Chain A
Amino acid sequence: MSLLEVAGLTAGYGRTTVLRGIELAVDEGETLFIAGPNGAGKSTLLKTIAGVVRPTAGAIRLAGQEIASLAPEVIARLGFSLVPEGRDCFAGLTVEENLKLAGGLRPSASDAAAELTVVYDLFPVLRERRSIPAGLLSGGQQQMLVIGRALMTGSRLVAIDEPSLGLAPNIVDQVYESLALLREKEGLSLLIVEQSTVRASMMGGRLVLLRNGEIALSGDAVALSQGTALRDAYFGYEGAA
């Protein structure tokens, strides 16, 4: 059984349908990239899974449990953590408060305290700056903070919306290095929205390509990046399968 299963998912805003009949699955320990042009519905897909956007049809199962249309806080408690686009750290809260807030999902305070040490070991800069407001961190540090925050929740499945958005290339390298490390050490399942298919092929995993709210292509990220099928599907050339 997959950790996350999405079947026939349709969702949108008001009368506008953004997602149509999405099918995908993420296995335990797997990394799935969601790529696609602007407006394809990538962020909407993550928000729908997180419970922020209500699906109009279809099923979402997390570890076998139906979660479609549940409240975001309930879904978070069931073990799905979303790092939204633009990082969304609580700018007025300190670094440590941001982390502790997420630690509230852990069963006990000592458990949360132990995880805090793990996060600080992973991102030492956060420990250094733990008592300053998160809004004063640089973009890269904020990205580390929100990834650390997702770890604090103890979720087995972490979804990240465009981790490279607005960051310098060397910072993006660092972010991806830490994600790869998490996948290896903690066995986390990752769902990453990324415009750059190059990043996906560098890190490895499966990739689905979203276009106009539908899945245009899916397969192994490395294999896909070698042919022209991906490029054709991305830009929507005729004959692309």
Chain B
Amino acid sequence: MLIVVPIDLFASGVTTRTFTEMFVQMVLVVGLYLFVGNSGVISFGHVGFMCIGAYATAWLTVPPMMKQFTIKGLPEILAQAQLPFLPSVLLAGLLAAAVAVPVGLVLMRLSGIAASIATFAFLAIVNNVYSNWDAWTAGTSSIVGIPTETNIWTSWLFASAAILVAYAYSVSRFGLALRSARDEPVAAAAAGIDMVFQRTIAFVGSAFLCGVAGALYAHFLGVVNPDAFFLSVTFTALAMLILGGMSSLSGAVTGVVFVTLLISLFRTLERGVSVGDASFSLPAGSQEIAIGIAMILVLIRRPAGLIGNREFKWTRSPAKAERRHKPAI
């Protein structure tokens, strides 16, 4: 994580923005990992919490003068509010977590693909409501005037904190209980683990992180708009998680870094590169084509993800692991 220092000191504005965005993505993907990695349920819905967080911080921090024009229907207390960055971001996360409690209690009774679809339905509902709730969200038009306080330092701090939270959760008895229910549902139930309850805890925790990520993203861009928190972000976040290795925290972090580097590499190529006398650039859209192909190639080569569901610190050489696991059956 020391890379932040040289970037801040020497790098160009573009690189700083790239890395700031990467750390915000990291908060989101680590949040997603907290639920998906530990429960084994693929969620399409977490970007919905990101959306909730982003709008919450907009309600709390946009200067009251500007709110009068864009979002006229806010209640007096919100319309007058102008909180500083940190409390607003945390409150945004708390609102997302609060929404996650009833949603989780209902959805977590489902398993497998039915649960995934239900989370997608949640995302679609959030998107539909925020796109049409004109009085509070200005509909599909953007809310502007959010103080741009997410910089490389704050985003790095939040990313580190998110990693710590996710790590603390996964080694806690809650994380252990949920992972055991993921791997051996029957045995875990027999051991008295209430899977619905455990999943709901993870769901709420990860919703908090995703809400924070949404707020950070709002403070990064300065504007919010419901379609910024819909399918493409959902897929990018899932792709990062799964490319890295969805059952490990290290995988989540690696996936974010890998995809960010990939994207910025092709963005640079698309802008044009000069090699010696010749300079070439790729047509618009080719960036995405190359990223898509690169993702497919990685998946074909490493179907378990780049990290292969291990954690950095516990990595053993395969030969050693083989010897330790003397065949038992």
Contacts and interface: CB of A to CB of B under 8 A. Distances in A.
A18 B329 contact: yes
Interface stretch (B8-16, B262-270, B320-328): B320-328
A17 interface: yes
A46 to B, nearest CB: 16
A225 to B, nearest CB: 26
Nearest to A18: B329
A10 B329 CA distance: 13
A212 B321 CA distance: 20
Contacts of B318: 15
A54 to B, nearest CB: 16
Contacts of A41: 329
Interface string A25-45: 000000000000001010000
Most-contacted residue by chain B among A12, A17, A212, A213 (CB, 10 A): A17
Interface string A1-33: 000000000001001111010000000000000
B329 A39 contact: yes
Interface in A138-162: none
A234 to B, nearest CB: 16
B329 A15 contact: no
Contacts of A213: 327, 329
A12 B325 CA distance: 13
**Those 8 A-B pairs whose CB atoms lie nearest each other, nearest first:** A17-B327, A39-B329, A18-B329, A15-B322, A15-B325, A16-B327, A213-B329, A16-B329
Given A12-B327, A17-B327, 5 more contacts: A15-B318, A39-B329, A212-B327, A212-B329, A213-B329
Interface of B: 318, 321-322, 325, 327-329
19 contacts: A12-B327, A15-B318, A15-B321, A15-B322, A15-B325, A16-B325, A16-B327, A16-B328, A16-B329, A17-B327, A18-B327, A18-B329, A20-B327, A39-B329, A41-B329, A212-B327, A212-B329, A213-B327, A213-B329
